[in-house]
Structure 1
Amino acid sequence: MTQPVNSGTRSAWQVTRSVWYAMFMREATSRTMNDRMGWFWMIFEPVAMVTIMVSIRSFIRGDRLIVGAEFIPWMVTGLMGFYLIREGMMRGLGAVDANSALFAYRQVQPVDPVLVRNFLEGMLRTFIFLLFIVGALMLGVDLVPDNAIYAMAWWVSLWCLGLGLGLITSVAGTLVPEVTTVVRMISLPLLILSGVILPLNHLPHWLLEYLMYNPIVHGLELLRAGFFEGYKVVSGTSATYFWMFTLVTIVIGLLMHLRFKDKLKAK
């Protein structure tokens, strides 16, 4: 005789979804409400960078080095994409330690706060990018993507790369605190070496060959291709390479969380 089904029992997916929702609300409140300067810095940082670069544009003549795109929209697109990746990587650093008290509940795993933080950061960065697009239109600067579907697809792709890097840094930074310092130190060099503020097309071929090992270059160039019809991407740009790297980082990050789950909970 079959046993009656207990309607009060929730599936594993329902439990996980409830955990993610609760953590999302907690992180969203902390990120947007507790820190009064949080919104200011998220908007001010790219505005300040754009202002500085525009002020020296007449010296570097950056708009003459870019084929198929205006300098300001080209740079804003690169900055937004880079910040999406960078924040995904940086937010993973403190995710485990900041939520260590929640690991007393067996439903909460160390990977949960990393996933939630990355999702929240992606939502915030998307909203800020939309604000930039609206603001640019009000100032007479065309920042609307020529191929919206393609641009959105590569925006999500950059988001996924940030997730993969965040999964890795969340484990490495928790187990080896020195990793946090190293990751913070490489943020600025990555900004320069990823072709965010200056085009890479005019660099010597031997140097460009090494820079193209950086997957961020490929992602940003393909994002820009979605925004500017006729934009000439850097030679060697490959969607296949970008996604192979992204998938590998996500898999490695998840495997690290699985392997060191107990150590992360004990921290």
Structure 2
Amino acid sequence: MASDRNTPTERPSGDKKSGPKARSAWAVTRSVWYAMFIREAVSRTMADRMGWFWMIAEPLALVAIMTFIRSFVSGEGLIVNAEFIPWLVVGLMGFHLVREGMMRGMGAVKANHALFTYRQVQTADPVIVRNFLEGMLRTFVFLLFIVGALLLGIPLSPDDALSALFNWFSLWAFGLGLGLTLSVVATLVEEVDKIVKMISMPLLIISGVIFPINHLPHWLLEYLMWNPIPHGLELLRLGFFEDYHVVKGTSRLYLWFFILLLNAFGLMLHIRFSHKLKAK
């Protein structure tokens, strides 16, 4: 019968209503990262009213102490084709970028454990967001140091801006790889967190941050250069001082080998132990 052609359970093809379009995985990830970034930024900059002060005061205090010590120690030729204060500032800024990326990334999983109740949030997300935020803050602080040094007549502007920027990014990527790897290991094995905090200060000394390591005995220098951080710091300094003599054995390839290795290994650990990290 004609009256039976369109029953209430049937719709003509032209009247079909489509539901809401499903978002792609990348769109969901962007939304998660944006929300977490705003959360971390507010917490990082507003929770502690002295937060900005300490980000600037810590490297400034180290520079002041080392300059004071330097005034009592001879040896102007220890650093070739670079003044001591700019050389020291560049090294401190680069090292703090790596250290803070490692330390804050290491604690990101525990600090954001409550967010894992949402299935869209993966365990690697807070580590990536924290490192991105830390990189932005450290870059801003470094720019403040450069502007302040230039106003005081201290030559701290990079001679090769593109090289300096790439090497700065390389140090950030290395800190991200350390953060991704240690965030899993330190969450599953709590003693690792204490060990990493203990070695952070010796790492400052043996990475050539506050004194040049190229004048150490060759046999000792060979062992110290197994550490990728001096490679990144020397390359960063080379971007600021074009005639600077880097430590023998400095290699960008060696640095990026560790960057790619740590980032890939860290992401694989997050995939492998995702359920354990969320249950911790």
TM-score of the superposition, structure 2-length normalised? 0.93
Deviation of 1:201 after TM superposition, in Å, equals 1.2
- Provide the rounded CA distance (Å) in 2 between the counterparts of 1:80 and 1:5: 54
Q: Which has the larger radius of gyration?
A: 2
Secondary structure of 2:72's counterpart equals helix
Quick one: which of 13, 34, 41 aligns to 2:26? 13
Q: Would you say 1:124 and 2:128 are equivalent positions?
A: no
Task: Give the match for residue 168 of structure 2.
Answer: 155
Q: What amino acid is aligned across from residue 113 of structure 2 in structure 1?
A: S
**How many pairs were matched up?**
266
Deviation of 1:110 after TM superposition, in Å, equals 0.7
Question: Which 5+ residue runs of structure 1 have no aligned equivalent?
Answer: none
- Provide the rounded CA distance (Å) in 1 between the counterparts of 2:73 and 2:232: 24
- Provide the rounded CA distance (Å) in 2 between the counterparts of 1:62 and 1:153: 31
**Please, what is the CA RMSD of the aligned residues?**
1.3
Q: What amino acid is aligned across from residue 189 of structure 1 in structure 2?
A: P
Task: Give the match for residue 184 of structure 1.
Answer: 197
Structure 1 residue ranges, 4+ long, deviating more than 4 angstroms after superposition: 3-7
Deviation of 1:6 after TM superposition, in Å, equals 5.0
Q: What amino acid is aligned across from residue 138 of structure 1 in structure 2?
A: L
Q: What amino acid is aligned across from residue 97 of structure 2 in structure 1?
A: L
- Provide the rounded CA distance (Å) in 1 between the counterparts of 2:56 and 2:89: 12
Secondary structure of 2:245's counterpart equals coil
Question: Which 5+ residue runs of structure 2 have no aligned equivalent?
Answer: 1-12
Identity %: 69
Deviation of 1:4 after TM superposition, in Å, equals 8.0
- Provide the rounded CA distance (Å) in 2 between the counterparts of 1:201 and 1:44: 28
Task: Give the match for residue 227 of structure 1.
Answer: 240
Deviation of 1:8 after TM superposition, in Å, equals 3.2
Secondary structure of 1:236's counterpart equals coil
- Provide the rounded CA distance (Å) in 1 between the counterparts of 2:131 and 2:194: 20
Cα contact 1:200–1:208 (8 A) shared by 2: yes
Task: Give the match for residue 82 of structure 2.
Answer: 69
- Provide the rounded CA distance (Å) in 1 between the counterparts of 2:68 and 2:210: 13
TM-score of the superposition, structure 1-length normalised? 0.97
- Provide the rounded CA distance (Å) in 2 between the counterparts of 1:13 and 1:46: 38
Cα contact 1:200–1:234 (8 A) shared by 2: yes
Task: Give the match for residue 218 of structure 1.
Answer: 231
Cα contact 1:62–1:71 (8 A) shared by 2: no
Any residues of structure 2 matched to 1:245-256 within 5 Å, and which? 245-256=258-269
Q: Would you say 1:209 and 2:222 are equivalent positions?
A: yes
Task: Give the match for residue 9 of structure 2.
Answer: none
